Amino acid sequence: MSIEIAHFALILAFALSAVQTVVPLVGAQKGWRGWMAVAGSAATLQFVLIGLAFLTLTMAFIRSDFSVELVYLNSHTAKPMIYKISGVWGNHEGSLLLWVLILTLFGAAAAWFGDGLPERLRARVLAVQGSIGFAFMAFMLFTSNPFARLDVPPLNGRDLNPLLQDPGLAFHPPFLYLGYVGLSMAFSFAVAALIEGRVDAAWGRWVRPWTLAAWVFLTIGIALGSWWAYYELGWGGFWFWDPVENASFMPWLIATALLHSAIVVEKREALKSWTILLAILAFAFSLLGTFIVRSGVLTSVHAFANDPERGVWILVIFIIFTGGSLTLYALRAGAMQAQGVFSTVSRESGLIVNNILLAVSAFVVFIGTIWPLVVELIFDRQLSVGPPFFDAAFTPFMVALAIALPFGSMLAWKRGSLNRVGKSLIGWAVLACAMAALAFALQSGRSALGPIGLALGVWVVGGALQDLWSRTGRKGLSDRLSRLSRLPRADWGKAVAHIGLGVTMFGCAGILAWQVEDIRVASPGESWDVGSYTFTLEDVRQVRGPNYQSTMADVAVARGSSEIGLMNPEKRFYPVAAMPTTEAAIINGVMRDIYIVVGDPQDNGGYAMRTYIKPFANWIWGGAILMSLGGFLSLSDRRMRVGAASPKTAVLEPAE
């Protein structure tokens, strides 16, 4: 009976979303305060109802209630509890319910913490947010009901996809959705501003915390997905330019540009129309990612669904919201005149360069992701666009971004001096070049990728540190250190995030340039050398897990006369799902990872073994952690929570 109550709660939330969409918009247009106030109550009640529905579905998974079709298709009594819970969103219908839950959470948060917003703007923001909820709840109720019952409940379920039975994949979707859906708030603010006819410094300050929160969660979600792919899929890579990977990366790039562009709106009342466009595009790419994952038009290990009917629904949602908002933008953006004037050499110009590089990078990824589909539709040909294209087309823009970043962050507003900034950074430039030369000399004739990555990493990290130090004035050391400790958290957050980017850049370059790989067939008792390490296959045994059978290898690792440890790579088989998975064994280190995968048994009694030495692998995810930490530091700055005064207002047309 509880499942039926949850279904009814979803229907009530759907009806409320329609009220939240229409009533506040009419109230804002007519100036009726009572009608505008409906938005906050409707947003809060929607969140409560969807929360009830989601909690009820979760309890059905925990209890293994196989009368619910979704539980039967994605769970099993022998499955560990964490994967019973993550099974709620490890499928199309449940993940869509999580999507809507997070959407209503952001809407309710805007209602709870939006008292500083002008009444009309707040009502319009919540109305746009309600319209997004209306569209996705309709999609769920009419095509993807998570509460469908089975007439005859089976004794057991069909289990969750074994690839998803992993801690990384248990937490990856919620964080990713917090990022995806969080960008809906920036979209709602943009559309509300276009409807209202006001874009000013206050608007820039209001939109920044929501965008920053979404960016942080999206960063964490992408990092978790990359980490999972690294250790779970057994291929040893951290990024494959898979369509679904790209689907999360494109909104991240646009959201990064939006964050920096909103600063210009807030500080200088410039780039208004461009910032509005970025807010629209960021959410448009989120919707595009939803379409890619759920439509089946592109094949991916990450895809949830393969139903053309569902794909058409999402495509319609994408066209309505993206097309409608871009049409409104085309009609209204021309009247948004910039107030601030700045010279060619200024922080505003630096942020414009940042935005151009990020936007073009996102466009490159978009073309590479969608082009195979376009070729198939138009020319009826199968085409694959893989890492070689993305590496060649995308990397130059990231190199340019890294070079420009320290200059852009240190230039003064309105009018800056490249000469002054260049003098303060010359020490870091010398250090970056020296480190690159040293790496090139030590690597014995390998490619320049590693040294260049090291130089860029040092340059970006050094630029962030120099930016912090330059904010402490020119007095004595003790005074400067004291001022350093009193800098606003937003300044520290920016520096930590930029340092994280530099660390990640170096980690990516280091692992690609300097990893060592060995593939062979080894028998128990056999030893082999990879790099400076010696590996010995001591035994291969059969192990039984809670819901799988495993072929586990015992591999001893030594370096010279020192024993490093015993590694246990596995090849698991899940009988219910009739699916194998690879579980790599990894010894993590600051300077390198030792990575081993055991393969299938061979005719001679040996086993296929793949061994890697991966330098600086953990710097990739360490940098992502630093970027996220920088975002949280900036969010904790009280200036992110205090409404900005808006002495100047750009009015497109009267609000009434």
Instruction: Give pairs for 331-334: CB < 8 Å, separation 24+.
Output: 332/194, 332/197, 332/652, 333/194, 333/273, 333/276, 333/277, 334/273
- In-domain check, residue 634: no
Please determine, for residue 53, whether its predicted confidence score (pLDDT) is greater than 90: yes
Please determine, for residue 299, whether its predicted confidence score (pLDDT) is greater than 70: no
Last residue of a domain, one of 467, 488, 513: 513
Which residues pair with residue 529 across a beta bridge?
534
Asked whether residue 100 falls in the same domain as residue 187, the answer is no
- In-domain check, residue 632: no
More confident residue, 45 or 155: 45
- In-domain check, residue 547: yes
Using pLDDT thresholds of 50, 70 and 90, give the confidence band for residue 297.
Answer: low
More confident residue, 578 or 361: 361
Using pLDDT thresholds of 50, 70 and 90, give the confidence band for residue 298.
Answer: low
DSSP-assigned letters across all residues of 333-392: GGG--------SSSHHHHHHHHHHHHHHHHHHHHHHHHHHHHHHHHH-------HHHHHH
Average pLDDT over residues 629-649: 70
- Which pLDDT tens digit goes with each residue over 221-271? 999 999 988 988 777 788 989 888 899 999 999 999 999 999 999 888 888
- In-domain check, residue 337: no
Using pLDDT thresholds of 50, 70 and 90, give the confidence band for residue 322.
Answer: very high
Using pLDDT thresholds of 50, 70 and 90, give the confidence band for residue 576.
Answer: confident
Asked whether residue 193 falls in the same domain as residue 325, the answer is yes
Last residue of a domain, one of 484, 513, 542: 513
pLDDT, residue 295, reads 65
Asked whether residue 9 falls in the same domain as residue 133, the answer is yes
Please determine, for residue 413, whether its predicted confidence score (pLDDT) is greater than 80: yes
Q: Cα–Cα distance between 103 and 129 in angstroms, integer?
A: 8
Asked whether residue 203 falls in the same domain as residue 349, the answer is yes
Asked whether residue 7 falls in the same domain as residue 59, the answer is yes
Average pLDDT over residues 557-582: 91
pLDDT, residue 647, reads 41
- In-domain check, residue 368: no
- In-domain check, residue 171: no
H or E segment and range at residue 562: strand 562-567
Please determine, for residue 101, whether its predicted confidence score (pLDDT) is greater than 90: yes
pLDDT, residue 445, reads 66
Arithmetic mean of pLDDT over the chain: 90
pLDDT, residue 199, reads 85
pLDDT, residue 296, reads 60
pLDDT, residue 653, reads 39
pLDDT, residue 48, reads 97
- Which pLDDT tens digit goes with each residue over 128-183? 999 999 999 999 999 999 999 998 999 899 888 887 888 888 889 899 999 999 99
pLDDT, residue 650, reads 41
pLDDT, residue 300, reads 53
Looking at the 3D structure of the chain, how many domains does it have? 4
Average pLDDT over residues 385-412: 93
Contacts with 288 (C-beta within 8 Å, 6 or more apart), sequence order: 247, 250, 318
Q: Which phi-psi region, left, alpha or beta, contains residue 223 (left: φ > 0; alpha: ψ -120 to 50)?
A: alpha
DSSP-assigned letters across all residues of 146-191: TTPBPSS--SS-----GGG-SHHHHHHHHHHHHHHHHHHHHHHHHH
pLDDT, residue 196, reads 86
Last residue of a domain, one of 494, 513, 532: 513
Asked whether residue 277 falls in the same domain as residue 207, the answer is yes
Q: Which domain holds residue 161?
A: 1-165
- In-domain check, residue 525: yes
Q: Give me the percent of the chain exceeding a pLDDT of 70.
A: 94
Please determine, for residue 652, whether its predicted confidence score (pLDDT) is greater than 50: no
Asked whether residue 226 falls in the same domain as residue 351, the answer is yes
Asked whether residue 558 falls in the same domain as residue 569, the answer is yes
Average pLDDT over residues 475-493: 89
Torsion of CA 69, 71, 72, 76, to 10 degrees: 180
pLDDT, residue 645, reads 41
Asked whether residue 187 falls in the same domain as residue 151, the answer is no
Please determine, for residue 447, whether its predicted confidence score (pLDDT) is greater than 70: yes
Using pLDDT thresholds of 50, 70 and 90, give the confidence band for residue 651.
Answer: very low
Asked whether residue 312 falls in the same domain as residue 413, the answer is no
Asked whether residue 30 falls in the same domain as residue 161, the answer is yes
Asked whether residue 31 falls in the same domain as residue 68, the answer is yes
User: Which amino acid belongs to residue 280?
Assistant: I
Average pLDDT over residues 624-636: 96
Please determine, for residue 646, whether its predicted confidence score (pLDDT) is greater than 60: no
pLDDT, residue 634, reads 94
- In-domain check, residue 625: no
Q: Cα–Cα distance between 414 and 269 in angstroms, integer?
A: 12
Average pLDDT over residues 596-609: 90
Using pLDDT thresholds of 50, 70 and 90, give the confidence band for residue 361.
Answer: very high
CATH number of 119's domain = 1.20.120
CA 422, 428, 430: angle at the middle one, nearest 5?
A: 95
